[in-house]
Amino acid sequence: WKTLDDVALAGKVVLVRVDINVPMEDGRVTDMTRIDKIRPTVEDIIAKGGKVVLLAHFDRPKGKVVPAMSLSHVEKAVASSLGRTVVFGADCIGPVAAAAIAKAGPADVVLLENTRFQPGEEKNDPALAAEMAKLGDVFVNDAFSAAHRAHASTEGLARLLPAAAGRLMEAELRALEAALGAPQRPVVAVVGGAKVSTKIELLANLVTKVDHLVIGGGMANTFLVAEGIEVGQSLAERDFAETAREIRHRAQKAGCQIHLPVDIVVAREFKAGAESQTLGVRDCPPDAMILDAGPKTVAALEAVFASAKTLIWNGPLGAFEIEPFNKATYAAAQAAARLTKAGSLISVAGGGDTVAALNAAGAAADFTFISTAGGAFLEWMEGKELPGVQALMT
Ligand code: 3PG
């Protein structure tokens, strides 16, 4: 794929697909990360003499105009993050969009309306992509986190204009390549979260690529059940015990070591401050549920991390949203951050929950790379080709 260094930008109108699908509460942006991360691309294009026109989706309006999902609600946040005047166009195609582009000065940034207000966006309708293409001369995709969607503004448009990856897209692809493409070994992957059923493809791919696979959260319970260990009232997918055994088998054949909890934190209620006990992994009482991994598990993970050169992380180790069940996730995250800071580990993490947990643990800043992507990060870890990235290759 090409980068901003490979395309002529001077005097061009540059359509830049960004992902500013940010969380909002009461009309205010509650996490600016995705908006802040578009700055290098925007600044670079302006410095090279291009006019920046932002194309983006917001939420899931499903091809209809839903005023609450208008990108006008993030216009101010974009302007303050970039420190530039933002000219909003209340459509992403046609005369309204063209007028906004014409009105903007060379140092301004144009923000066009939610691409998903168009029924053709999610269908990757070539007619819609052609309408968008008419507005500019060059296409830059900086939305790695939306690259798993083959939509008109991510995939279609890349095929109609000279196309390049933006700086954030470039950074994401390089970091992920360093973690799983041609990584420094040993590589350890941490995969947590509630369900094995939603992460089968991920586990099946990872065991062939990494040296250690740490399984945490509710998923670990299913693996424990597969070993004949009783987990009481814990979340576990008993129907997937056989799948868990197959994944273990596949891992063994590929020389990947699977790590499960050796001790557990259990409670009788799933609520903040619930009375909890730390027990051996085989000692879960029939009326209790496992809500976190225990300190021996964390110590074992720290040893695995210390022996590794690369770490890739998706999913928490316990019910980290409520205390005291955040301990294992936080402690493991802090250990990874320390090793990264000391220069002995390359650490990459992604996924909404994971990034929230690493932030809450105060560990995110020391990770080598934190992806802005949720679904795209997962699909990439599953070994899938991302259409938004593929389209930049041709
Ligand atoms: C995300 O938030 O992961 C991206 O913006 C993609 O959003 P989507 O899942 O609605 O396609």
Can you give the pLDDT at residue 385?
94
Report the DSSP beta bridge partners of residue 279: 264
Same domain flag for 93 and 195: no
Q: Which residues form the catalytic set? A: 34, 195, 352, 375
Can you give the pLDDT at residue 353?
86
Kindly state whether residue 343 falls inside one of the protein's structural domains.
Answer: yes
Residue that is last in its domain, among 166, 198, 219: 166
The reported pTM is: 0.92
* The total number of structural domains that make up the chain: 2
- Atom 7 of ligand 1: nearest residue by CA position: 146
Same domain flag for 285 and 344: yes
Please check the confidence at residue 394 and state whether its pLDDT lies above 90.
Answer: no
Please check the confidence at residue 75 and state whether its pLDDT lies above 90.
Answer: yes
Kindly state whether residue 50 falls inside one of the protein's structural domains.
Answer: yes
ipTM higher than threshold 0.90:
yes
Same domain flag for 135 and 189: no
What does the pLDDT average to over 40-67? Answer: 98
- Atom 9 of ligand 1: nearest residue by CA position: 375
Kindly state whether residue 4 falls inside one of the protein's structural domains.
Answer: no
What does the pLDDT average to over 11-19? Answer: 98
Same domain flag for 157 and 201: no
Helix ranges restricted to H, the chain: 33-36, 39-47, 75-82, 94-103, 119-122, 126-133, 167-176, 200-206, 217-226, 241-254, 295-307, 327-341, 352-360, 375-381, 387-393
Q: Give the range of the structural domain holding residue 128, as residue numbers without chain letter.
A: 13-166
Residue 116 annotated in ligand binding: yes
- Atom 2 of ligand 1: nearest residue by CA position: 21
Same domain flag for 198 and 55: no
pLDDT band at 311; cut points 50, 70, 90: very high
Kindly state whether residue 351 falls inside one of the protein's structural domains.
Answer: yes
Kindly state whether residue 231 falls inside one of the protein's structural domains.
Answer: yes
CA 314 / ligand 1 centre spacing (Å) = 16
pLDDT band at 352; cut points 50, 70, 90: confident
Please check the confidence at residue 194 and state whether its pLDDT lies above 90.
Answer: no
Q: pLDDT by residue (tens digit) across 105-129?
A: 999 999 999 999 999 999 999 999 9
Same domain flag for 202 and 311: yes
Residue that is last in its domain, among 140, 166, 192: 166
Residue that is last in its domain, among 166, 193, 214: 166
> What's the full length of the chain, in residues?
394
Same domain flag for 210 and 124: no
Average pLDDT of the chain is 96
CATH number of domain containing 138: 3.40.50.1260
Same domain flag for 201 and 124: no
- CB 350 less than 6 A from any atom of ligand 1: no
Which residue reads 């007028």 in tokens?
99
Same domain flag for 191 and 104: no
Can you give the pLDDT at residue 166?
98
